[in-house]
Amino acid sequence: MFFCAISGEPPQEPVVSSKSGKVFEKRLILKYIHENGTDPTTGKKLEESDLITIKASPENAAPRPPSHTSIPALLQLLQNEWDALVLSTHSLEQKYNSTRQELSYSLYAQDAAQRVVARLIRERDAAREALSNVQASMDVEMGESGLPADVVTQIDETHKTLSAARKKKKPPTGYASTAEVKSFTATHTIPSLHSASPAGITSLALSKTNPSQFLTGGNDHIVQLYDRSTDKVLASLRGHSKKVNHVAFREKEGDSTLILSAGADKIAKVWGQDSGSGEYIPKATIRSHKAELTGLVVHPTQTIFGLSSADKTYSLFSALHLRKILSPPSLFTPDGTLFALGTPNSTIHIYDVRTGAIAASLTPPDATPFTVNTLSFSENGYHLAAPSSHSTVAIWDLRHEKAAASIGLGDDFKINKGARVFANKSWEELVRLEEGGEVSDLAWGEQGKEIWGATGREVRIWGIAA
């Protein structure tokens, strides 16, 4: 289709200029030539004879629709388009508001459901605790003292036997002398225990019935039973989901040996040997506490063990029996009648195991509050060693409930940096054991002739050099 170079519309009688090659409406170009005598596009001289008629098919172009040729029609067209756009926008806003209302309702319903779930969880936990208390009272026939009568009898019998032996003032024959302890040096190292990530041994326990065997607990969540005489790992026990804080043997004549472990995952596990394969397998999992377990200790009767937790409770286990009182970490006296626990505010509580009553509370004078995280009774059970500040250790006389001595460790003292040995009564420092760096746990070997320590991923043994 051609368009007139003057009007811009399809021409009814199209002609083309031989001068410029442009198409014109014949009547319009003739009028222009008569008035100007030139081509309207190039300005060159143009005559009628220079125009060439174009014969098109169809001969006449269809006229433009009226809606495109008048201003009112164009305005009406624009108005219709605008109305359609406004109507579409209104429809979208309605859908948007409807979606917002649906989302608001869904969020409200979800919030209400979460509140119901939270309330049900609280009710469930309260019901579980109530059921646990009911089961504890139903499972065990309690004696007047608070513990079962047969357990109290075992404790009393053990107390009489052990206290009679410990009243002897002379050490047993064969025990290491003060001079020998002064000569202690690193004699043996057992390397590469537990995984390298996360690395580190957290706890150590020696077997009394088989001195070559020992337990370690690690940051890698594993408990290992190791035999020093063969330098072999006898068992790797996996069952904790966080680091193992404490390990212990339960060794009783006539009964099979049990391995106990307590972890930062709030649980304690009991491992025993399988009757068929002889391998150690899980015998029980204890979930009696709501926070990290900070203490594990076996009673001298070897029929009771205690746990303490950061939830400020401790529990004693004898078969299915459970009893809770405030405070962590813990330690039994050598004769088994008292139970000591440290607290986060520097105080040490002494409990009667048989009744659960507090026998004494020991608080260092003028001490800045700190956590008592380690305790040690003397062999005769009269004295208790415990931190009295960040750089001193107090020796408490339990008969008079006061500090009999204080051992200063120096202002530059760092907890777990090596080990120091002090003589009883004189409190003379006998030896410092600083090889291997930081020590996470210590244990005396057979007859006091060795000291075992957990340092990093190693177990280091100090004793008399060969």
- The answer on 93 and 20 residing in a single domain is no
Under DSSP, the state recorded for 189 is E
What mean pLDDT do residues 391-403 have? 85
Higher-confidence position of 460 and 330? 460
pLDDT, tens digit, 9 for 90 and up, residues 12-48: 888 999 888 899 999 999 999 998 989 988 888 999 8
Query: pLDDT digit string (tens) for 249-305?
Result: 988 887 888 999 999 999 999 888 888 888 898 888 888 888 999 889 888 788 888
- Residue 60: pLDDT band (50, 70, 90) is low
**Cα 278 to the center of its chain, rounded Å:** 34
Q: Record the tokens describing residue 394, joined without a space.
A: 């107090």
Q: Identity (one letter) of the amino acid at 317? A: F
Per-residue pLDDT at 219: 93
Rounded mean pLDDT of the chain?
82
Domain identity same for 268 and 313:
yes
pLDDT at 136 over 50: no
Residue 97 forms part of a structural domain: yes
The pair phi, psi for residue 271, each rounded to 5°, is -115, 140
Strands (E), 85-130: none
pLDDT at residue number 293: 92
Report the percentage of the chain scoring pLDDT > 90: 23
Q: Domain containing 52 — which CATH number?
A: 3.30.40.10
Residue 85 lies inside a defined structural domain of this protein: yes
> Residue 379 falls within a domain, yes or no?
yes
Poorest-confidence range of 48-52, 74-78, 110-114, 368-372?
Answer: 368-372
Query: What are 408-449's pLDDT values in tens digits?
Result: 888 777 767 778 888 888 888 889 888 777 888 899 888 888
Please report whether residue 73 resides in a domain.
no
Residues 281 and 392 occupy one common structural domain: yes
Structurally, the chain folds into a number of domains equal to: 3
pLDDT computed for residue 141 by the predictor:
37
- With a cut of 60, say whether residue 145 has pLDDT above it: no
- pLDDT grade for 402, boundaries at 50, 70 and 90: confident
Q: Are residues 203 and 289 in the same domain?
A: yes
Residue 140: its pLDDT value, please? Answer: 38
Q: What share of residues in the chain are helix, strand, coil (percent, to 5)? A: 25, 35, 40
For residue 1, is it within any domain?
no
Q: How many residues does the chain have?
A: 466
Please determine, for residue 55, whether its predicted confidence score (pLDDT) is greater than 70: yes
For residue 135, give its domain range: 78-139
Task: Give the CATH number, domain containing residue 212.
Answer: 2.130.10.10
Based on its alpha-carbon atoms, the radius of gyration of the chain, rounded to whole angstroms, reads 47
Q: Is residue 70 part of a domain?
A: no
Residue 7 lies in a domain: no
**Does residue 250 share a domain with residue 205?**
yes
The predicted structure's pLDDT at residue 437: 76
116 and 190: one domain? Answer: no
Spatial distance between the Cα atoms of 40 and 404, rounded to a whole number of angstroms: 125
* Per-residue pLDDT, 105: 93
Q: Which residues of 214-240 are buried (b: 16+ CB within 10 A; e: fewer)?
A: bbbbbbbbbbbbbebeeeeeebebebb
Q: Band of the pLDDT at 138, cuts 50, 70, 90?
A: very low
Secondary structure class of 125 (helix, strand, coil): helix
Show Cβ contacts of residue 378 under 8 Å, excluding neighbours closer than 6 positions: 334, 384, 385, 424
Q: Both ends of the chain: CA-CA distance in Å? A: 117
The answer to whether residues 201 and 221 belong to one domain is: yes
Together in a domain, 302 and 321: yes
Please check whether residues 154 and 272 belong to one and the same domain.
yes
State the pLDDT confidence band at 321, using cuts at 50, 70 and 90: very low
Q: Which residue has the higher pLDDT, 200 or 319?
A: 200
Q: Based on the domain organization, do 30 and 92 belong to the same domain?
A: no
Q: Is residue 69 part of a domain?
A: no
In terms of domains, do 131 and 152 share one? Answer: no
The pTM score is 0.63
pLDDT of residue 326: 40
pLDDT at site 61 = 57
Specify whether 131 is located in the same domain as 225: no
